[in-house]
């Protein structure tokens, strides 16, 4: 194998709760994470030069060790004594600094891709262990799907049955949010309303998307919404235009809405683009990891089910 293509998929947080803080400054988390159809396309290609090269359709994206994808390739090369070089090409579609784990997803895709490209035959558990050395949400991006994440985000439990299928509208304000700064500003012990994680799990088990919409919750909204009040306005607009529920994903600023009807989702996205003059508005869907089956391309050629 000389080349491999992968899809680094975005994630949303159906619930995000902070339950404590460790002595090292890391927060104790409990969150339900879900992969969606929006993705960056990653191409890994062997090259004769003993180096890592990174190219992207985004001119300002770092192409050296400041980039998690580059560092993932270097980690695999140094850990497993890979002598050949590799070219990483990233077609960036997930907005940056958006609470959608785009950079982490790219990193995870490179770990998975290097494993396949160089026939290392590492089990998924080992890839998740390597991912954890690079960031606490990267192991999830290796696993994907519907997952309960605990600890600092590294204790992962697959949820069965997974999240029921529905359409997802993503809307990102044209600002970038620092996850580190949001957590530093969070007064976790003063949060009054915590997500009902057990209730969300029960709603998913019933396949009840409207109930899921009512149970969406993210304690980081207490930090990011005061910084960017339009996040609350976007949530309200989604609800007014047919969303079963709306929530900020991760540390923000992206808001997602859950929809049971595709046409309603498309109409809501159209309204959001006009109402808030936003470019980064996407209609996608819940994504489930296929088991032994090839992914099926949808009519837009961009998202997969």
pLDDT digits (tens, 9 = 90+) for 114-139: 999 999 999 999 999 999 999 999 99
What number of CA atoms fall less than 13 Å from residue 155's CA on the CB side? Answer: 7
| Cβ within 8 Å of residue 183, ≥6 positions away | 27, 220, 251
Q: Is the pLDDT of residue 301 over 80?
A: no
Of 158, 178, 204, which one is at a domain's C-terminal end?
158
Of 158, 193, 219, which one is at a domain's C-terminal end?
158
Residues 179 and 260 in one domain: yes
Domain-located, residue 52: yes
Domain-located, residue 153: yes
Closest by Cα among 226, 247, 286, 219 to 16:
219
Has 101 been labeled as part of a binding site?
yes
Q: Is the pLDDT of residue 23 over 90?
A: no
pLDDT, one tens digit per residue, over 77-117 is 999 999 999 999 999 999 998 999 999 999 999 999 999 99
Average pLDDT, the chain: 93
Q: Is the pLDDT of residue 300 over 70?
A: no
The token pair at 59 is 């001119």
Pick the catalytic residue from 11, 40, 172, 280. 11
Distance between CA atoms of residues 113 and 116, nearest Å: 5
Q: How many domains does the chain have?
A: 2
Residues 11 and 146 in one domain: yes
Closest by Cα among 47, 64, 65, 50 to 3:
47
pLDDT, one tens digit per residue, over 269-293 is 999 999 999 999 999 999 998 865 5
Residues 60 and 152 in one domain: yes
Pick the catalytic residue from 17, 40, 106, 137. 137
Domain-located, residue 227: yes
Domain-located, residue 303: no
Q: What is the dihedral of CA 292, 293, 294, 300, to 10 degrees?
A: -140
Q: Is 137 a catalytic residue?
A: yes
Residues 14 and 122 in one domain: yes
CATH code, domain with 13: 3.30.230.10
Has 103 been labeled as part of a binding site?
yes
Has 96 been labeled as part of a binding site?
yes
Has 268 been labeled as part of a binding site?
no
Parent domain of 276: 167-285
Domain-located, residue 152: yes
Q: Is the pLDDT of residue 173 over 80?
A: yes
Q: At what angle do helices 68-79 and 102-117 cross, to 10 degrees?
A: 30
Domain-located, residue 245: yes
What pLDDT was estimated at residue 48? 93
Residues 116 and 174 in one domain: no
Of 158, 178, 200, which one is at a domain's C-terminal end?
158
Q: What sign results for the dihedral spanned by CA atoms 41, 172, 208, 239?
A: negative
| Cβ within 8 Å of residue 271, ≥6 positions away | 237, 241
Q: % helix / strand / coil in the chain, to the nearest 5?
A: 35, 30, 40
| Cβ within 8 Å of residue 276, ≥6 positions away | 171, 173, 230, 233, 234, 237
Q: Is 11 a catalytic residue?
A: yes
pTM of the model: 0.92
Residues 14 and 108 in one domain: yes
Domain-located, residue 228: yes
The token pair at 89 is 């090409």
Measure Cα distances from 28 to 18, 41, 147, 274 in Å: 6, 32, 16, 39
What pLDDT was estimated at residue 292? 52
Residues 109 and 83 in one domain: yes
Q: How confident is the model at residue 57 (pLDDT cuts 50, 70, 90)?
A: very high
Residues 149 and 7 in one domain: yes
């Amino acid at each position: 194998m000389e080349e491999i293509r992968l899809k680094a998929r975005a994630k949303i947080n159906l619930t995000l709760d902070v339950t404590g803080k460790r002595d090292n400054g890391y927060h104790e988390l409990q969150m339900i994470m879900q992969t969606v159809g929006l993705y960056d396309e990653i191409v890994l290609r062997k090259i004769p030069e003993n180096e890592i090269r990174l190219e992207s359709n985004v001119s300002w994206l770092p192409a050296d060790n400041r980039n998690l994808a580059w560092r993932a390739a270097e980690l695999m090369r140094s850990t497993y004594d890979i002598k050949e070089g590799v070219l990483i090409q990233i077609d960036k579609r997930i907005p940056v600094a958006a609470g959608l784990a785009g950079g982490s997803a790219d990193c995870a895709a490179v770990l998975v891709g290097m494993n396949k490209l160089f026939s290392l035959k590492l089990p998924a558990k080992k890839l998740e262990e390597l991912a954890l050395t690079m960031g606490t949400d990267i192991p999830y991006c290796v696993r994907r799907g519907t997952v309960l994440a605990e600890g600092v985000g590294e204790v992962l439990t697959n949820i069965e049955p997974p999240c029921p299928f529905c359409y997802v509208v993503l809307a990102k304000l044209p600002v970038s949010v620092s996850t580190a700064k949001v957590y530093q500003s969070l007064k976790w012990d003063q949060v009054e309303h915590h997500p009902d994680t057990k209730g969300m799990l029960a709603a998913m088990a019933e396949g009840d998307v409207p109930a899921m919409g009512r149970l969406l919750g993210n304690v980081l909204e207490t930090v990011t919404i005061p910084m960017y009040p339009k996040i609350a306005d976007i949530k309200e607009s989604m609800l007014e235009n047919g969303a079963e529920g709306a929530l900020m994903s991760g540390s923000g600023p992206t808001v997602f809405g859950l929809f049971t009807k595709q046409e309603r989702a498309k109409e809501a996205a159209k309204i959001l683009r006009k109402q808030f003059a936003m470019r980064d508005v996407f209609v996608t869907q819940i994504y489930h990891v296929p088991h032994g089956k090839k992914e099926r391309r949808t009519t837009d050629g961009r998202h997969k089910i």
